A and B are shown apart, each in its own frame.
With several copies, the nearest count.
Chain A
Amino acid sequence: MDKREHFDLYYQMVLIRLVEEEAARLYQQGKIGGFLHLYIGQEAVSTGLISVRKPQDRVITAYRDHGVAINCGISSKEVMAELLGKATGASRGKGGSMHIADVEKNFWGGHAIVGAHLPIAAGMALGDQYQKNDNVTICMFGDGATNIGYFHEALNLSKVWNLPVLWVCENNQYGMGTSVDRASAVLDIHQKAEGYQIPNSRVDGMNVLTVREAGLQALEHVRSGKGPYFLEIVTYRFRGHSMGDPERYRQSEEVKKWQENDPIGIYRKYLVEQKIGTAEELDRLEEKVKAEVEEAIEFAESSPEPAPEDLFKHVYYEA
């Protein structure tokens, strides 16, 4: 990895962080509605993972999707605009925070029903296998999603049909207020892959380079035709499940402990220590990100609402 690549990863993580901090503010102001699930604390996971996907690899995730969207190349403008429900948003203002997508960028959303996107991911992998290309579908989901039937049906089928899909469990240790041990028969989520004889591993999700390395190997495995692979990435959600979470289910000490493990802080320290970049350079980068986010908000706020007739568009396909 050269300096440019390192800086790009750092840039993406900071961008996700600032976009979401601003989103939280805009939500409080009532400019963003519905549910807003922040990715803050988990930035290293999708940033590291998506950084090693090829453009033709498909990515699909759950509703906690702002970070993944940005990593997939959706501009902060389009993300912000979607959060504000504008016509210029990634999903034209129809999807909102939970349903951001840009199929041109091979990002297939943003899905709000827990686990329901796993069968769809298996199907996209089937589509690529059928068309005999070497694309990989990367499907991300939470620890809580591994307890629903859709997970089981999708993983089983992916093994039976040897589908080119990379299953990525972002284990942030809670499904809303329910800790893994209260919802899952196994604590090490990747153990579930044993029930399907799908090769699997577990890695630290707070270090972007660790994730990147693991992603590289996992993608290689899948791309080489060896079938599905299951990657458990251990991380932590610094904020509530969504806005307005009373957080009765965890101690603030626990949260603090993890915040000391801030993936952005860890990476920044690494970059400076390894002399890949100076503190000043990184500060300048952060300033640039601040400016970009302000622009994005500017863009989103000044963007037009969808036209009334859009209400009836896209119910069915129109040539």
Chain B
Amino acid sequence: MARITMREAISQALWEEMEADQNVFILGEEVGVWGGTYAVTKGFYDHFGPERVRDTPIAEAVIVGSAIGAALTGLRPVAELMTINFAYSAMEHIVNEAAKLHYMFGGQMVLPLVIRAVGGGGRQLGATHSQTPDVIFAHFPGLKVVAPGTPEDAKGLLKESIRSNDPVLFIEHATLYQVRDEVPDSNYTVPIGKSKIQRQGQDATIVTYSKMLEISLKAADQLVEEGIEVEIVDLRSLRPLDMEPVLESFKKTNRAVIVEEGWRSYGIGAEVAARIYEEAFDYVDAPIRRVAQKEVPLPYNRTLEQMALPQVEDVVKAVKEVL
């Protein structure tokens, strides 16, 4: 077990898969000479060379589109979108091409493709650069959407994504890159579409993922001081969505709070809540609560931005409301 950062974990996953498989290559803005704007691919250009670490023009549609084409020829491209906010500029190719080609042509076309994109707010980047629109991508069948919250999951899930024969949108969070935690030394992978209990408890269930896992764990620590033990389920994948661990936990606690960073309306929490009610109706002891972003474009001003984002206190408060 080594203690490494999320950034190192993702970097290692890419490095190891590129070492293991010549067909794996990276393309995106500033992934090469610059070393990745978040330094995730630092050193890759010198080691793997310009053929396998490809700096692209600023043209998201052709970054994803050409990755799709390369995947169709049997390669395993990892396309990096500098941030998920720029995924709108590649929307057609993510949700209408990558997500549909395999199905639409009767299974003839296979797309072993990964699209990495970093998202999240909290860095005063303003409305266009601070989004967590994960849910809109998770809405599309044919696409797999993964969003890890720990270094261990990030490394294992990215390796699994690269080896998968389906298009995977791999969502990272800019304020998690520094997070440090233990990661197995073995050449492990983590299956896509499996939620995970990240903390044991019996009083209430918190369902969350990505950055909000960190917030939820902090909330859990505060709640302990008041004798409240929450169980935390990390979705890790948004599509396929694995409700099993969520339902199991809920049947034990009978209370749930869903914590997501994105906007509340039509968000991740709505689906998870609806599913719990559908599949564990008789176990519901209190209305399920959702903690999410206020419904405004994120402002630049730090105080306002923090007001809009879910805080530890919001989670603590919501948990107490369901008890």
Interface residues of A (CB under 8 A from B): 33-35, 58, 85-86, 89-96, 98-99, 101-103, 108-110, 112-116, 118-128, 130-131, 137, 144-145, 147-150, 152-154, 156-157, 160-161, 175-178, 182-184, 246, 248-249, 305-306, 308, 310-319
Complex Cα–Cα for A91 and B127 (A):
12
* B97 within 8 Å of A (CB atoms): yes
Contact A123 B59 (CB under 8 A): no
| Interface-located stretch among B105-113, B146-154, B264-272, B276-284 | B105-113
Also in contact, A123 and B106, with CB within 8 A (given A34-B126, A176-B30): no
* B295 within 8 Å of A (CB atoms): yes
Contact partner of B294 (CB less than 8 A), chosen from A115, A116, A311, A317, is: A311
Complex Cα–Cα for A128 and B70 (A):
8
Name, among A150, A153, A156, the residue most crowded by chain B CB atoms within 10 Å (CB to CB): A153
Contact B66 A123 (CB under 8 A): yes
* B133 within 8 Å of A (CB atoms): no
* B62 within 8 Å of A (CB atoms): yes
Which residues of chain B have C-beta atoms less than 8 A from A35's C-beta? 125, 129
Complex Cα–Cα for A114 and B62 (A):
14
Which residues of chain A have C-beta atoms less than 8 A from B124's C-beta? 33-34, 85, 96
Beta-carbon nearest neighbor of B165 in chain A: A317
Listed by A's residue number, 24 A-B pairs whose Cβ atoms lie within 8 Å are: A85-B124, A85-B302, A93-B299, A94-B105, A95-B126, A99-B105, A108-B109, A116-B92, A118-B65, A119-B62, A123-B70, A123-B71, A123-B77, A127-B74, A147-B57, A150-B92, A154-B62, A176-B29, A178-B30, A183-B55, A249-B34, A311-B296, A311-B308, A317-B165
Q: Interface size class for chain B?
A: 35 or more
Contact A184 B109 (CB under 8 A): no
Name, among B29, B65, B72, the residue most crowded by chain A CB atoms within 10 Å (CB to CB): B65
Which residues of chain B have C-beta atoms less than 8 A from A144's C-beta? 57-58
Contact A308 B30 (CB under 8 A): no
Which residues of chain B have C-beta atoms less than 8 A from A183's C-beta? 55-58
Which residues of chain B have C-beta atoms less than 8 A from A115's C-beta? 58
Closest 5 CB pairs of A and B: A123-B69, A119-B65, A127-B73, A92-B106, A96-B300
Number of interchain pairs (Cβ within 8 Å): 259
* B102 within 8 Å of A (CB atoms): yes
Contact B70 A124 (CB under 8 A): yes
Other than the given A95-B126, A110-B105, A116-B65, 8 more pairs (CB < 8 A) read A34-B125, A94-B304, A102-B108, A113-B97, A125-B69, A130-B73, A152-B59, A316-B142
* B190 within 8 Å of A (CB atoms): no
Contact partner of B65 (CB less than 8 A), chosen from A96, A123, A156, A316, is: A123
* B320 within 8 Å of A (CB atoms): no
Which residues of chain B have C-beta atoms less than 8 A from A121's C-beta? 69
Contact B33 A148 (CB under 8 A): no
Contact A305 B59 (CB under 8 A): no
Which residues of chain A have C-beta atoms less than 8 A from B85's C-beta? 113
0/1 per residue, B298-319, Cβ < 8 Å to A?
0111111001100000000000
Which residues of chain A have C-beta atoms less than 8 A from B294's C-beta? 311-312
Contact A317 B62 (CB under 8 A): no
Q: Taking the nearest CB of chain A, how far is it from the CB of B292, in angstroms?
A: 15
Contact B57 A153 (CB under 8 A): yes
Complex Cα–Cα for A122 and B72 (A):
11
Also in contact, A91 and B66, with CB within 8 A (given A113-B86, A316-B144): no
Which residues of chain B have C-beta atoms less than 8 A from A85's C-beta? 124, 300-302
Q: Taking the nearest CB of chain B, how far is it from the CB of A243, in angstroms?
A: 12
